[in-house]
């Protein structure tokens, strides 16, 4: 009999209850990934099972539980956080080194689960590629894999239900391409692949394709749904009641039927014999594709919408430029207040978040933050994904560096920026690290490169000045950014940890972050982040070239710079950038904010 725990149960009690459920079912191990049926980065509450079981609140991690072991695999961004949150839980921290696991959880399971043992994982939240890798490794050792069970349902009291927030339409002028036009473009791509049907589970792909938005996932204006797109008609599977009647009618006029969320698997099962289905194995779960009949051919390829939405139109780029001016004005207002209040009133990391959020909220078109603000003073800044909490945060006082990584979701764009500012007196070591990171930011920002180059190959440009200084950082240099969508999107990623696949090619219109860093545990962290737009840079006998247009508009604090370390061309870049920031943000601010902007954009 399944026994549900009280909601107040400790982490060891939760792990013990999971082990009891495993024992009753005859499972030797249970794998709990950080995933939902849409393979989202940020999860609705219902699928935060790894967090509920382990107590670790980071966005990425994999939990493995056996009868006598519980381990959480995380990369270096989360080591300090995980070590603190796992203390006393009985869950062991398993460190992933340099973006690669020294002993992957898959390999660990293959080596430690006895032959004829069974590993359980909920196939509804397990990606197709991950399922194949797991099954291959386990079967080679005689270990069975079960993907048709969700052990969490048996033990998780008051498990959150599916979100019910209303879906709404993203309308012109911000939505500059009509839904029907996007569907036509997708269907052309389907025909090129020889597919009559295309299944989409990725929430931002759906939101982009249908010009719809929602509030089911914190910080991302998306909604929980699947879609099955045919050459003549389409079905959107969403929780009943979420789509208002008028919007149901509008979708119907574009040939889209709204059906209950649980019927997605049934629709796949009902595909006709001889049909061809296009599906992205990286963005569809193993459990969902299990519903597809054997008589249906599956063509595996990246969702065409992943490419389409990454390449912003000129109209969208113009909206983003205007959004950056408003976001820059909010930052100017915040920093003017911050510098005036510092030393005169108590300011904590939580205060920074509150005041910066309020400044953005006053700007036109603001909807929500694009991620949880990171305000990290001194040693807290050495944790790239640190988050201040009411029970654990620092007061901004004394001497050191304050790192602030923040962003906003606006109807006309998504922002993401990191700045570091001095508090009190800083020393030469602070300035040396800051300037080294700045040199990396400038180096990549100025780069020209062939159109179609695989984005991970650009990573070394930003790292070169940092490597030269004998330092490095354990995260990627850049991620794609959506248009009033997820702050992290693909297909491009500037990271040598990522495979340089053909689908990571850089194309005109993509928006990407540039964010190198240096982190000294127990001391400080430095990261300087701007968003950039790929734009045409001319054609030569060697082909088409691209360059970056820096979109973010906020001063980089020159008080932190060791000026002798900057070359003349690097100073010229920074001065030109500050001239642009001052010219474009000044019309949107006044008083103290304008005075602050003038001061912080003075030439060096």
**Are 436 and 448 part of one and the same domain?**
yes
Domain boundary among 275, 294, 309: 309
Residue 160 lies in a domain: no
Structure tokens at 155: 């033990």
The mean predicted confidence, pLDDT, of the chain is 94
**Are 255 and 108 part of one and the same domain?**
no
pTM of the model: 0.91
Number of domains in the chain: 3
Residue 33 lies in a domain: yes
CA 383: distance to chain centroid? Answer: 17
Can you give 62-123 as a three-state secondary structure string? EEEEECCCEEEEEEHHHHHHHHHHHCCCCCEEEEEECCEECCCHHHHHHHHCCCCCEEECEH
Domain boundary among 267, 291, 309: 309
**Are 358 and 492 part of one and the same domain?**
yes
Q: What is the pLDDT of residues 143-164, one digit of tens each?
A: 999 999 999 988 998 899 999 9
**Are 270 and 332 part of one and the same domain?**
no
Residue 162 lies in a domain: no
- Tallying the residues shown for the chain, one arrives at 604
Q: What is the pLDDT of residues 6-23, one digit of tens each?
A: 557 799 999 999 999 999
Least confident window among 47-61, 473-487, 586-600: 47-61
SS3 450: strand
Which run of H or of E encompasses 533? Answer: strand 530-540
Nearest to 592 by CA among 349, 338, 382: 338
For residue 481, the enclosing domain spans 311-596
Stretch 294-301: mean pLDDT, rounded? 95
pLDDT of residue 97: 66
Q: Is-cis flag, bond preceding 366, omega within 30?
A: no
CATH of the domain at 260: 3.40.350.10
Distance CA 386, CA 374 (A): 6
Other beta carbons within 10 angstroms of residue 231's beta carbon come to: 12
Residue 450 lies in a domain: yes
Burial of 370-405, coded b for 16+ CB within 10 Å and e otherwise, reads bbbbbbbbbbbbbbbbbbbeeeebbebeeebbbbbb
Residue 172 lies in a domain: yes
**Are 136 and 106 part of one and the same domain?**
yes
Burial of 128-143, coded b for 16+ CB within 10 Å and e otherwise, reads bebbeebbebbeeeeb
Burial of 335-347, coded b for 16+ CB within 10 Å and e otherwise, reads bbbbeeeeeeeeb
Residue 417 lies in a domain: yes
**Are 249 and 321 part of one and the same domain?**
no
Q: Are 589 and 597 in contact (CB under 8 A)?
A: yes
Nearest to 181 by CA among 210, 203, 205: 210
**Are 280 and 361 part of one and the same domain?**
no
**Are 65 and 175 part of one and the same domain?**
no
**Are 332 and 234 part of one and the same domain?**
no
Residue 570 lies in a domain: yes
CA angle 187, 191, 197 (to 5 degrees): 65
Per-residue confidence at 389, pLDDT binned at 50, 70, 90? confident
**Are 391 and 339 part of one and the same domain?**
yes
Pairing of strands 197-200, 276-279: parallel
Residue 17 lies in a domain: yes
Distance CA 93, CA 96 (A): 10
Stretch 289-312: mean pLDDT, rounded? 96
At which residue do the structure tokens 């009190």 appear?
A: 424
SS3 573: helix
Model confidence at 1: pLDDT above 60? no
Per-residue confidence at 529, pLDDT binned at 50, 70, 90? very high
Structure tokens at 475: 């995260």
Surface-to-core class of residue 362, CB atoms within 10 Å of its CB (0-12 exposed, 13-18 middle, 19+ buried): exposed
Distance CA 556, CA 300 (A): 44
Distance CA 604, CA 601 (A): 9
Distance CA 365, CA 84 (A): 38
**Are 194 and 328 part of one and the same domain?**
no
Per-residue confidence at 192, pLDDT binned at 50, 70, 90? very high
CATH of the domain at 590: 3.90.230.10
**Are 505 and 374 part of one and the same domain?**
yes
Domain boundary among 111, 128, 155: 155
Structure tokens at 537: 């840079």
pLDDT of residue 5: 52
SS3 447: coil
DSSP state of 2: -
pLDDT of residue 443: 98
């Amino acid at each position: 009999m399944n026994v549900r725990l009280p909601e107040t149960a400790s982490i060891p009690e939760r792990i013990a209850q999971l082990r009891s459920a495993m024992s009753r079912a005859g499972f030797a191990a249970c794998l709990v990934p950080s995933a939902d049926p849409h393979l989202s980065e940020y999860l609705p509450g219902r699928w935060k099972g790894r967090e509920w079981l382990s107590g670790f609140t980071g966005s990425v991690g994999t939990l493995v539980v056996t009868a006598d072991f519980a381990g959480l695999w995380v990369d270096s961004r989360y080591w300090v956080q995980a070590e603190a949150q796992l203390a006393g839980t009985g869950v062991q921290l398993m460190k992933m080194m340099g973006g690669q696991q020294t002993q992957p959880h898959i390999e660990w399971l293959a080596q430690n689960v006895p032959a004829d043992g069974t590993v359980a994982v909920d196939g509804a939240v397990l990606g197709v590629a991950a399922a194949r890798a797991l099954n291959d490794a386990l079967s080679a050792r005689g270990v069975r894999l079960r993907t048709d069970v969700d052990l969490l349902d048996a033990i998780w009291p008051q498990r959150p239900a599916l979100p019910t927030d209303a879906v709404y339409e993203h309308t012109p002028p911000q939505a500059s391409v009509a839904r029907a036009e996007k569907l036509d473009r997708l269907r052309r791509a389907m025909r090129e692949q020889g597919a009559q049907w295309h299944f989409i589970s990725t929430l931002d792909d759906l939101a982009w394709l249908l010009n719809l938005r929602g509030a089911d996932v914190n910080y991302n204006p998306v909604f929980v749904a699947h879609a099955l797109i045919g050459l003549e008609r389409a079905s959107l599977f969403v929780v009943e009641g979420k789509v208002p009647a008028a919007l149901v009618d509008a979708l119907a006029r574009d040939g889209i039927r709204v059906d209950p969320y649980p019927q997605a698997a049934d629709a796949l099962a009902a595909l006709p014999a001889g049909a061809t289905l296009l599906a992205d194995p990286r963005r569809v779960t193993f459990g969902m594709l299990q519903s597809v009949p054997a008589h249906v051919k599956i063509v595996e390829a990246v969702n065409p919408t992943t490419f389409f939405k990454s390449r912003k139109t000129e109209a969208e780029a113009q909206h983003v430029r205007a959004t950056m001016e408003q976001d820059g004005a909010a930052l100017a207002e915040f920093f003017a207040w911050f510098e005036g209040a510092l030393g005169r009133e108590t300011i904590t990391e939580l205060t920074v978040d509150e005041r910066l959020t309020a400044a953005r909220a006053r700007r036109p078109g603001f909807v929500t933050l694009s991620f949880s603000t990171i305000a990290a003073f001194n040693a807290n800044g050495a944790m790239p994904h640190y988050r201040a909490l009411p029970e654990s945060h620092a007061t901004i006082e004394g001497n050191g560096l304050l790192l602030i990584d923040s962003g906003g979701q606006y109807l006309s764009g998504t922002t993401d920026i990191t700045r570091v500012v001095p508090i009190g007196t800083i020393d030469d070591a602070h300035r040396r690290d800051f300037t080294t990171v700045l040199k990396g930011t400038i180096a990549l920002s100025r780069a020209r490169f062939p159109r179609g180059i695989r984005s991970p190959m650009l990573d070394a440009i930003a790292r070169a000045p940092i490597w030269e200084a004998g330092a490095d950082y354990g995260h990627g240099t850049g991620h794609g950014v959506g248009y009033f969508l997820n702050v992290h999107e693909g297909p491009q990623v500037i990271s040598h940890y990522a495979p340089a696949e053909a689908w990571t090619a850089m194309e005109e219109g993509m928006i990407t972050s540039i964010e190198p860093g240096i982190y000294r545990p127990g001391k400080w962290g430095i990261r300087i982040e701007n968003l950039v737009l790929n734009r045409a840079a001319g054609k030569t006998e060697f082909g088409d070239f691209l360059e970056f247009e820096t979109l973010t508009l906020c001063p980089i604090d020159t008080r932190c710079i060791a000026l002798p370390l900057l070359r003349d061309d690097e100073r010229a870049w920074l001065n030109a950038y500050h001239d642009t920031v001052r010219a474009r943000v000044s019309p949107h601010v006044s008083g103290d904010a304008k005075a602050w902007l003038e001061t912080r954009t003075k030439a060096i």
